[in-house]
Amino acid sequence: MSILGCVLRVKAEKLPQVMAVLHTTQGVDVAMNPGDGRLVLILEDTQTTGAAQTFAAISLFPEVLSASLVYEYSGPDVVSVDADEDNTRYQSWRTTMAQMAKDHPLTHSHV
């Protein structure tokens, strides 16, 4: 299992749209939202996607100004949809966000 803590900075005027997507995304918990575009998220693996893949997909939203990974736990029980797929393995941080987010359901959503 992987658990990530991240801080996002989102365009304030787009915050409601981003929040709507985040609230409907499995494995995403909004831990803090002061309402000014700053967000603290907790991301967890799901049955179909890894937390790192979700983080990558969220960081690529055009409304996201910055995304910082501030905590990572990756245990031996990490979810792997396909062990041969680099974008689902918890050791896969040495790649681009676009490669990590490939095939994640959020890459097809429009905020």
Q: What is the pLDDT of residues 29-58, one digit of tens each?
A: 999 999 999 999 999 999 999 999 999 999
pLDDT given for residue 82 in this prediction: 53
- CA gap 95, 111 in Å, rounded: 25
Q: How far is CA 47 from the centre of its chain?
A: 15
- CA gap 75, 11 in Å, rounded: 33
Quick one: the chain helix, strand, coil %, rounded to 5? 30, 30, 40
**End-to-end CA separation in angstroms for the chain:** 28
Average pLDDT over residues 81-104: 64
Higher-confidence position of 92 and 33: 33
* pTM exceeds 0.75, yes or no: yes
* Domains within the chain, CATH numbers bracketed: 2-108 (3.30.70.920)
